[in-house]
């Protein structure tokens, strides 16, 4: 599965480089294929992004996601009595120096994640809230006048807290890597 996704992305990138600049597209609807592919391994996030260009250089966006962790994942050992879930909201603005809502971009982003683990045998649960403001630089390709491929990398400052059913609360924060790989359609 992972090899097929890599081959598909390589073909899409090659096609996008071969296609000349086309008409300006104001909207894009994208999803994160890596997060979705991770679902096959017992955990993952279905994450979608909508970007609306205000002008050729400025495009605000919103993101939403939902996912879960299978307690039987090969990566989670000893937690067979818990259901795990994740909720994600985000938003920000992409700035395109060259205009046309494509090419190089700088992204300012704010993300919120809520993780929840609930026992399947008792009423115990733990909830974690994560805030992640980030900045990224990247490139947005539009191939064939509709296919969007976006790749970005940067960093941010993650702040998290965790509270369990017993009232124990843990907090943490620090610098964190931010990445973006999306595929979608422009219209």
Predicted confidence (pLDDT) per residue in 81-97, tens digit: 667 788 889 999 999 99
Beta bridge mates, 158: 174
- At residue 18, the pLDDT reads 47
Beta bridge mates, 15: none
* Token duo for residue 164: 């369990």
| Average per-residue pLDDT for the chain | 82
Residue identified by tokens 């017992």 is: 42
Domains of the chain: 2-186 (2.40.160)
pLDDT digits (tens, 9 = 90+) for 50-71: 999 998 899 999 999 888 765 5
- At residue 13, the pLDDT reads 56
* Token duo for residue 58: 């400025």
């Amino acid at each position: 599965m992972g090899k097929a996704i890599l081959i598909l992305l390589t073909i899409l990138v090659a096609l996008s480089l071969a296609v000349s600049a086309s008409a300006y597209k104001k909207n894009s609807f994208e999803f994160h294929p890596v997060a979705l592919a991770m679902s096959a391994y017992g955990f993952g996030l279905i994450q979608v992004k909508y970007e609306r260009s205000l002008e050729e250089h400025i495009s605000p966006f919103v993101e939403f996601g939902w996912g879960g962790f299978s307690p039987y994942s090969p990566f989670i050992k000893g937690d067979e009595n818990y259901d795990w879930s994740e909720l994600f909201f985000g938003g920000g603005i992409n700035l395109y120096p060259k205009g046309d809502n494509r090419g190089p971009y700088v992204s300012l982003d704010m993300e919120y994640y809520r993780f929840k683990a609930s026992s399947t045998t008792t009423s115990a649960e733990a909830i974690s809230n994560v805030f992640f403001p980030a900045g990224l630089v990247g490139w947005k390709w539009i191939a064939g006048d509709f296919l969007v491929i976006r790749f970005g990398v940067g960093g941010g400052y993650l702040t998290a807290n965790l509270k369990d059913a017993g009232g124990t609360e843990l907090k943490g924060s620090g610098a964190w890597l931010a990445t973006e790989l999306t595929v979608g359609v422009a219209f």
